């Protein structure tokens, strides 16, 4: 009976140690949130409707296209 109590107490101490260590540790680089400056605006291709990053889109007037083919097909 005493051995079970010792094991339970040891388990509780270990769990408390892990919880405290987790709260005090620095966030891991892979787990950190991305800064807002890395987010990008998305635009919709006027011809096919898919969404692509604005910096990759091909603009014509107020419309954006995903490829030169779609830009050329949508002359109106």
CB 43, CB 57: distance < 8 Å? yes
- Residue 66: other Cβ atoms inside 10 A: 20
CA atoms within 13 A on the CB side of 67: 7
- Partners of 53 in the β-ladder: 42
Residue 16 clears pLDDT 90, i.e. is over it: yes
Identify whether the C-beta of residue 57 lies closer than 8 Å to the C-beta of residue 45: yes
* 76 vs 11 pLDDT, higher one: 11
Q: What is the pLDDT of residues 22-74, one digit of tens each?
A: 888 766 666 666 666 667 899 999 999 999 999 999 999 999 999 999 999 88
Global confidence as pTM: 0.49
Judge whether residue 75 has pLDDT over 80.
Answer: no
Question: Has residue 5 got a pLDDT over 90?
Answer: yes
């Amino acid at each position: 009976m005493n051995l079970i109590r010792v094991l339970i107490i040891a388990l509780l101490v270990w769990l408390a140690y892990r919880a405290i260590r987790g709260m005090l540790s620095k966030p891991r680089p892979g787990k950190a949130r991305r800064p807002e400056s890395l987010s990008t605006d998305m635009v919709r291709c006027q011809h096919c409707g898919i969404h692509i990053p604005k910096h990759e889109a091909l603009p014509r007037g107020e419309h954006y296209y995903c490829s030169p083919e779609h830009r050329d097909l949508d002359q109106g």
